[in-house]
């Protein structure tokens, strides 16, 4: 049994709360967000089974006071990546375990990097608490897939292709499946991959290929940089190459090109009618809320890891993947599959800590722990995986 404080009440944060409520081990769920109305809607949706409060996650002292009031056993950070450090500092001060789904990035630069969080390892170790980084799907489940392959299928992992396809249809001309600001910052920055001991940079969305995604079919995927590459390079010692591939429709690419060309994806402030605004934040206000896409979303996501290496001296290739149906996700927790595939693993990560299946003091990436209990819970709680040996 354990109390959980969820910071952030967006589409994925709401999934975390609803999945926690499905498990008796979560004795109490408290959700805090800057936008109190979102928390109120979630509270009504859950028949008042959660408690809520308003919180500015940028303010470490305010986060600390909320932790002191709620007294959680673990904090799940479902806020924006800019707020990771302020929340981690509050957890340190309160000496409470921490879980997130995305690594830190500074607000004024589209650059995500684990260094800032890894640098807090000794502080968390000395405090006797655990910070679990990247317990979403990618990063998160994809990292665990690699750890599972390393434990059960390979003596040496040499190459990894992380392949992510959303083959769903939300019926909108242009919309993002999670926070528009974070999504657009992520895919408009320079791409990067690791090969033969070095990082190689490319222009944004300049490299693409057709990939046959399980249970979805052939789709055009683009090479982008994703944060799990950084931690997997660190924790897979024999790795020679790792790349991340994500699908985007041609309509999405066309809209994005236009928005970039007119300056609406800029993250530097401009002056409009005597007031400073950030164009990307303004664009976010114009686009549909990701949670609003859920009810009429059709199709599936297909996400996995194509892994190759050596087993007992022989070359081997394994594909580990999950396929998630948007409508099935909606039936479970009234969410679309992209929110679902992020929220369920965040709940499982907290569960691993509360059950003491994952223990330790310090800052850790999810692939550093035993993958087996996490993989078992994926099967139990809505994200079953499959393994193809090739």
- Domain residue spans in the chain? 2-136+341-377, 141-335
Least reliable range by pLDDT among 9-18, 168-177, 194-203, 328-337 = 168-177
- DSSP assignment of 328-385, as one string? HHHHHHS--HHHHHHHHHHHHHHHHHHTTSS--SEEEEGGGS-HHHHHHHHHHTT--E
Residue 178's pLDDT is what? 66
280/353: higher pLDDT: 353
265/118: higher pLDDT: 118
Burial class for 292, CB neighbours closer than 10 Å (0-12, 13-18, 19+): middle
What's the mean pLDDT in 173-193? 81
The CA dihedral of 252, 223, 314, 232, to the nearest 10 degrees, is -110
Residue with tokens 């979102």: 38
What's the mean pLDDT in 138-160? 98
Indicate whether 6 pLDDT > 80: yes
Burial class for 273, CB neighbours closer than 10 Å (0-12, 13-18, 19+): exposed
Least reliable range by pLDDT among 8-12, 147-151, 252-256, 342-346 = 252-256
Least reliable range by pLDDT among 97-101, 176-180, 266-270 = 176-180
The correct CATH number of 141-335 out of 2.30.30.140, 3.30.360.10, 3.40.50.720, 1.10.645.10 is: 3.30.360.10
Q: Could you tell me if 266 and 282 are in contact, meaning their C-beta atoms sit under 8 angstroms apart?
A: no
What would the pLDDT profile of 32-64 be if each residue is shown by its tens digit?
A: 999 999 999 999 999 999 999 999 999 999 999
Q: What is the mean pLDDT of the chain?
A: 94
Q: Is 199 helix (H, G, I), strand (E, B) or coil?
A: strand
**pLDDT band for position 309 (cuts 50, 70, 90):** very high
Query: Vertex 347, ends 230 and 90: CA angle to 5°?
Result: 70
- Give percent above pLDDT 70 in the chain: 99
Residue 286's pLDDT is what? 85
Least reliable range by pLDDT among 130-139, 155-164, 167-176, 210-219 = 167-176
Q: What is the pTM of this model?
A: 0.94
**pLDDT band for position 199 (cuts 50, 70, 90):** very high
Residue 46's pLDDT is what? 97
Helices 60-70/84-94 angle, 10° precision: 50
- List Cα–Cα distances, 356 to 78, 182, 385, in angstroms: 22, 32, 23
Superfamily (CATH) of domain 2-136+341-377 = NAD(P)-binding Rossmann-like Domain (3.40.50.720)
What would the pLDDT profile of 336-384 be if each residue is shown by its tens digit?
A: 999 999 999 999 999 999 999 999 999 999 999 999 999 999 999 999 9
Residue 261's pLDDT is what? 86
Residue 183's pLDDT is what? 80
What would the pLDDT profile of 102-137 be if each residue is shown by its tens digit?
A: 999 887 777 788 999 999 999 999 999 999 999 999
Q: Is 165 helix (H, G, I), strand (E, B) or coil?
A: strand
Q: Is 65 helix (H, G, I), strand (E, B) or coil?
A: helix
Q: Could you tell me if 14 and 294 are in contact, meaning their C-beta atoms sit under 8 angstroms apart?
A: no
What's the mean pLDDT in 297-323? 97
């Amino acid at each position: 049994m354990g109390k959980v404080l969820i910071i952030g009440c967006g589409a994925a944060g709401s999934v975390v709360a609803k999945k926690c409520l499905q498990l008796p081990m979560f004795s109490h769920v408290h959700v805090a967000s800057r936008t109190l109305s979102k928390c109120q809607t979630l509270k009504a949706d859950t028949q008042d089974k959660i408690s809520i409060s308003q919180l500015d996650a940028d303010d470490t002292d305010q986060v600390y006071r909320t932790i002191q009031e709620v007294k959680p056993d673990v904090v799940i950070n479902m806020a924006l990546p800019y707020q990771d450090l302020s929340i981690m500092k509050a957890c340190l001060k309160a000496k409470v375990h921490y879980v997130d789904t995305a690594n830190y990035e500074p607000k004024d630069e589209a650059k995500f990097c684990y260094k800032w969080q890894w640098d807090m390892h000794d502080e968390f170790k000395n405090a006797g608490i655990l910070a679990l980084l990247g317990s979403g799907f990618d990063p998160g489940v994809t990292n665990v897939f690699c750890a599972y392959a390393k434990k059960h299928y390979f003596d040496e992992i040499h190459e990894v292709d992380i392949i992510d396809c959303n083959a769903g249809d939300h019926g909108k001309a242009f919309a993002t499946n999670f926070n528009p600001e974070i999504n657009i910052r992520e895919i408009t920055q320079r791409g990067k991959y690791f090969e033969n001991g070095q990082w190689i940079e490319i222009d944004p969305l300049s490299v693409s290929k057709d990939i046959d995604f399980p249970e979805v079919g052939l789709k055009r995927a683009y090479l982008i940089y994703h944060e799990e590459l950084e931690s997997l390079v660190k924790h897979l010692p024999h790795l020679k190459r790792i790349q991340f591939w994500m699908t985007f429709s041609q309509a999405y690419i066309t809209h994005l090109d236009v928005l970039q060309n007119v300056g609406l994806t800029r993250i530097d402030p401009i002056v409009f009618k005597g007031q400073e605004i950030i164009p990307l934040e303004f664009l976010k206000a114009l686009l549909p809320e990701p949670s609003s896409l859920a009810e009429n979303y059709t199709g599936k996501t297909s996400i996995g890891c194509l892994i190759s290496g050596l087993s007992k001296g022989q070359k081997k290739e394994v594909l580990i993947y999950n396929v998630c149906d948007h409508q099935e996700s909606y039936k479970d927790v009234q969410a679309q599959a992209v929110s679902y595939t992020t929220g369920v693993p965040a709940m499982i990560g907290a569960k691993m800590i509360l059950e003491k299946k994952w223990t330790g003091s310090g800052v850790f990436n999810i692939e550093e722990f035993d993958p087996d209990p996490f993989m078992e819970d994926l099967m139990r709680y809505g994200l079953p995986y499959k393994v193809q040996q090739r």
